Amino acid sequence: MGEHPARGVPGFMALARTRGVVLSALKIAFFVGSILALINHGEDIFTLNLAPGSVLQILLTYMVPYSVSTYSSVRALQRHALEHPDRF
């Protein structure tokens, strides 16, 4: 994690903000986050009985798959850049 990118390999934050990575992470977060929110808070969602703490938990539920997807995508792109420096 504390690694410095090799010369010619884009940095983590630069790749994390690219359109493709963001859109992919948003799609995955929506799908996986919705499933997890329903599993963990389904009754409260359907009865509209959400406490403020539950709303925060649901938002965090969406952030987890977004973060995992972003991290995985960026690391894959960085590995690809190391293996194929002529393409970056």
Distance CA 9, CA 78 (A): 6
Distance CA 16, CA 71 (A): 8
Which tens digits make up the pLDDT trace of 17-30?
999 999 999 999 99
Residue 84 pLDDT level (bands cut at 50, 70, 90): confident
Which tens digits make up the pLDDT trace of 25-64?
999 999 999 999 999 999 999 999 989 889 999 999 999 9
pLDDT at 1 over 50: no
Distance CA 83, CA 25 (A): 24
Backbone torsions φ then ψ of 18, nearest 5 degrees: -70, 150
Q: pTM higher than 0.85, yes or no?
A: no
Q: Which helix (H) or strand (E) holds 43?
A: helix 19-46
Please check whether residue 63 is in contact with residue 26, taking contact to mean a CB–CB distance below 8 angstroms. no
